[in-house]
Amino acid sequence: MDVDQVRPTLANSSWLARYSNASIIRLRICDVKNCPECGAASPVYDTRDVRYAYKGRETTIPAVTGYHCMGCNGVTMEEEAVNRYSELVGQFQREVNGKEVDPA
């Protein structure tokens, strides 16, 4: 699906958020034609599983909807997807941190 075809479905969203290496940058919708991280053209709007690493451990965040960059594997998401992603990342971080405190 082309970015310009998806844009009308984003009309209710005033911003998108970009996750790459656990950082977030707010963007205008018009900025999605190129990846804000690496500049690659035409990120693909899709729902995909996204790998996440924290303190040497990895997990997969399932069904992340947004603009996925083929160049750097970053993803630009709408606010609802960011909230879900943040919650799942937080759960994973708490799990990892808990194992460091009590390795049993």
Q: Does 16 fall in a domain?
A: yes
Q: Is 44 exposed, middle or buried (0-12, 13-18, 19+ CB in 10 A)?
A: middle
* pLDDT reported for residue 34: 84
* pLDDT reported for residue 93: 94
* pLDDT reported for residue 8: 36
Q: Which portions of the chain are predicted below pLDDT 70?
A: 1-32, 102-104
Q: Does 82 fall in a domain?
A: yes
Sheet harboring 16-20: ordered strands across? 23-27, 16-20, 75-78, 57-68, 44-54
What's the total number of domains in the chain?
1
CA dist 62 and 50 (Å) reads 6
Containing structural domain, residue 64: 3-99
- What is the CATH number for 43? 3.10.20.860
Q: Does 47 fall in a domain?
A: yes
